[in-house]
């Protein structure tokens, strides 16, 4: 599942080791993806958990299961958390990132213009238009033509 970004047809699933993106932005984008997908905080924690990625187990992104540790791999790659204190700190940061998501403000900030999904969008997501496709519904978001720095983005929570 790819979430096109304005002009780039990119994804919210961006790897830190292959792109020049700040870790905080990657975590925020992955938390936004989780909220758009209807995941619980527990699902997001599983997605962002270290050391649960099985090297030879195929991952099917089109099923309903949350792929464990993929988010950690994208944002932290080969970094190892040492000890219970580091793991607890990581979990707290992921809880905070998930709680901070403001669907509309963050989607606009990351220039998310379209979202393709087999499920309905979150009720508070500002959808301008919906199109049916062979792969689900394409939701065109209300700020799809705005620039990344536009003041027309919805205001986030304080």
pLDDT for 118-156, tens place per residue?
A: 889 999 999 999 999 998 899 999 875 554 455 567 665
Asked, for residue 69, whether it belongs to a domain, the answer is yes
Asked, for residue 151, whether it belongs to a domain, the answer is no
Asked, for residue 121, whether it belongs to a domain, the answer is yes
CA 136 to CA 129: how far, in whole Å? Answer: 14
Asked, for residue 119, whether it belongs to a domain, the answer is yes
User: Is the separation of the CB atoms in 30 and 48 below 8 Å?
Assistant: yes
Q: Work out the angle between the directed axes of helices 83-100 and 23-36 (0-180°, nearest 10).
A: 60
Q: Is 36 exposed, middle or buried (0-12, 13-18, 19+ CB in 10 A)?
A: buried
Asked, for residue 11, whether it belongs to a domain, the answer is no
Asked, for residue 108, whether it belongs to a domain, the answer is yes
Asked, for residue 31, whether it belongs to a domain, the answer is yes
Q: In the chain, how many domains are there?
A: 1
Q: What is the pLDDT of residues 46-73, one digit of tens each?
A: 999 997 666 666 766 666 778 888 899 8
Other C-beta atoms closer than 10 Å to the C-beta of 14 total 17
Domain extent at residue 93? 23-141
Asked, for residue 8, whether it belongs to a domain, the answer is no
What's residue 53's pLDDT?
61
């Amino acid at each position: 599942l790819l979430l096109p970004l304005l002009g780039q047809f990119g994804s919210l699933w961006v790897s830190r080791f292959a792109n020049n993106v700040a870790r905080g932005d990657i975590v925020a984008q992955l938390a936004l993806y989780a909220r758009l997908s209807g995941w619980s905080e527990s699902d997001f924690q599983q997605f962002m958990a270290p050391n649960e990625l099985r090297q030879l187990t195929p991952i099917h992104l089109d099923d309903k299961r949350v792929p464990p540790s993929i988010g950690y791999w994208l944002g932290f790659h080969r970094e190892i958390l040492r000890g219970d204190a580091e793991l607890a700190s990581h979990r707290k940061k992921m809880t905070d990132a998930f709680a901070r998501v403001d669907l509309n403000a963050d989607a606009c900030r990351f220039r998310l213009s379209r979202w393709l999904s087999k499920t309905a969008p979150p009720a508070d997501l500002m959808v301008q238009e919906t199109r049916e496709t062979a792969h689900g519904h394409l939701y065109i978001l209300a700020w799809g033509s705005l620039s990344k720095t536009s003041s027309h983005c919805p205001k986030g929570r304080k």
